Amino acid sequence: MKYLKSQMNKLVKDNNELQKKLKEMMAEHDLEKEYALKALYHAEVADGGKYQAAYRELDSPKK
């Protein structure tokens, strides 16, 4: 699975918990949104993370 900024933006936009975690990460580590998104991806999506299934759904082609 590959990190795609557009997919991660959509996933966060559709999930209040991820929005909160993104804001916390940006504030706590003084990160710009772009870097915080990538860090959130590695923490919550990649390698069997809690939101991996939702991220994969965004990757699958629409029928």
26: CB partners within 8 A, 6+ apart: 32, 33, 36
User: Into how many domains does the chain fold?
Assistant: 1
- Determine the angle formed by the axes of helices 33-44 and 5-13, rounding to 10 degrees: 80
- The pLDDT assigned to 61 comes to 67
Mean pLDDT by 10 residues, the chain (63 residues): 93 96 97 97 94 90 60
- Per-residue pLDDT at 1: 81
